[in-house]
Amino acid sequence: GGGGGAAMAEDEGLVSVDYEVSGKVQGVFFRKYTQGEAKRLGLVGWVQNTSHGTVQGQIQGPTARVREMQEWLRKIGSPQSRISRAEFSNEKKIKALEQKEFQILK
């Protein structure tokens, strides 16, 4: 909300960031909800279950939207999930989106 042309140039660019979420995040539709939230925010990337019980993936999009998604991954998740930790790594600025959509990988 709110207009104002004083937005920091920082927030205009695109970023890519990897994430891994720990806790009760498998078998609770976490990937489906993550995809839904990413699409709602207009982000691209992917999400998948790992063999050690976490969910990992990548998100790409406008910085401000990526920040919102990070908050969501940290605090909200799917209704039945219990997030204990969300870690983010490999954050970098990108000139263009490297994915076409947000997909669930097997």
Alpha-carbon span 1 to 51, nearest angstrom: 40
What's phi and psi for 43, nearest 5 deg?
A: -100, 160
Catalytic positions are 31, 49
70: left (phi over 0), alpha (psi -120 to 50) or beta: alpha
